[in-house]
Amino acid sequence: MSTRIVLCDDHTVLRAGLKMLLDSEPTLKVVGEAADGFDAVRQVVALRPDVAVVDITMPGQDGIAAARQIHRQAPEVRILFLTMHDDPEFVYQALEAGASGYVLKRSAESDLIDAIGAVCRGDAFVGAEPTRQLAADYLARRERGELPVLVESLTTREAVVLRLLALGYTNHEIADELMISVKTVETHRAHILGKLGLHKRAELVRYAQTHGLLAAGTG
pLDDT in tens, 136-187: 666 666 566 655 545 666 777 888 888 888 887 888 988 888 888 889 988 8
Give the integer Cα–Cα distance in Å for 203 and 16. Answer: 48
- Tell me the Ramachandran region of residue 126: left when phi exceeds 0, alpha when psi lies from -120 to 50, beta otherwise: beta
> How confident is the model at residue 146, as a pLDDT?
58
Instruction: For domain 3-143, give the fold.
Output: Rossmann fold (3.40.50)
- Domain extents for the chain? 3-143, 149-210
What's the pTM?
Answer: 0.62
**CATH code of the domain occupying 149-210:** 1.10.10.10
- Residue 164 has a pLDDT of 84
Please, are residues 54 and 67 in contact by the beta-carbon 8 Å criterion? yes
Say if residue 218's pLDDT is above 50.
no
- Min mean pLDDT across 84-88, 101-105, 112-116, 213-217 is at 213-217
Q: Which residue has the higher pLDDT, 134 or 175?
A: 175
Of 46-60, 108-122, 132-146, 192-206, the least confident:
132-146
